[in-house]
Amino acid sequence: MRVSELAQRTGVSAHRLRHYEASGLIQALRSSSGYRDFADRTVREVVFIAMSRDLGFSLKDIAETLPRYRAGTLTIDQMVESMRSRIAEVDQQIAGQRALRRKLVSHIAWLERRRRASEQQPARGKPATPWNTARRSQR
């Protein structure tokens, strides 16, 4: 089948399918006219790749798992373990983002305290900072 039919049958764009082929995840024969010709089994492989990508697995991870999937030796237990590992990665990313958020909130609070303190000081003798310099130029 041609790339357009594979795209239609899997819901994966032709562009993405060409990328999968270039990455070595799927393979196509070439017809005498140069068109890609994918085997019927490629539909199943593309669905597996697309579902794995939707779960956040990298193409590298998928490339390592795909041979066992093709051979029918990838077990449910192995898939569950991979997903649990992925959950742990996601949890680490969430923790990192929460830490970054706390740091941002803390910096905002610090800057707002600085601004309030500088607004309460008399205008004379204030050291030039980006905050009070900008305020003077707006007056």
Q: Is 137 a residue whose pLDDT tops 70?
A: no
Helices (H), the chain: 3-10, 14-22, 41-54, 59-71, 76-120, 130-138
Residues 12 and 35 placed together within one structural domain of the fold: yes
Q: Longest C-alpha distance within the chain, in Å?
A: 84
**pLDDT for 34:** 86
Residues 16 and 36 placed together within one structural domain of the fold: yes
Q: Are 51 and 11 in contact (CB under 8 A)?
A: no
Residues 26 and 65 placed together within one structural domain of the fold: yes
Q: pLDDT tier at 119 (50, 70, 90 boundaries)?
A: confident
**pLDDT for 132:** 54
**pLDDT for 59:** 95
Per residue in 75-98, pLDDT (tens digit) is 999 999 999 999 999 999 999 999
129 in any annotated domain: no
Residues 106 and 90 placed together within one structural domain of the fold: yes
Q: Quote the pTM value.
A: 0.73
